[in-house]
Amino acid sequence: DTAVSQTPKYLVTQMGNDKSIKCEQNLGHDTMYWYKQDSKKFLKIMFSYNNKELIINETVPNRFSPKSPDKAHLNLHINSLELGDSAVYFCASSRAGANEQFFGPGTRLTVL
């Protein structure tokens, strides 16, 4: 059973398009996160949700909009995609108050 899953695994699209990445966790965790890994493999937090409420928003352009329909899902919608958005996006989850995070397999986004 996959603990944290993401779809799609690969996403290739043109500049200016709008796209979504979905994340689901079956661990019963309360908190979910989105991280961005750039071409130099540097990982940085983007958002965090706890029980469907936004907790962290790390100076991410407002073209990025996370949505949490329930505590098992955290989707990432990106409007007007730019070349600089090309990266690998990782979803993660953790229990409330815990520090260990479980990561999904990543979504490699390529903007042409």
Range in contact with another protein (rule: CB under 8 A) among 17-25, 39-47, 62-70, 71-79: 39-47
Report the C-alpha gap between 107 and 36 in whole angstroms: 10
Is residue 73 within 8 A of residue 5, CB to CB? The reply is no
Q: Is 93 in the site for another protein (CB under 8 A)?
A: no
**Count of residues of this chain found to bind another protein when the rule CB under 8 A is applied:** 26
Q: Is 103 in the site for another protein (CB under 8 A)?
A: yes
CA angle 83, 110, 106 (to 5 degrees): 125
Is residue 101 within 8 A of residue 92, CB to CB? The reply is yes
Q: Is 94 in the site for another protein (CB under 8 A)?
A: yes
Site residues for another protein per CB under 8 A: 4, 31, 33, 35, 40-45, 48, 55-56, 58, 90, 92, 94, 98-106
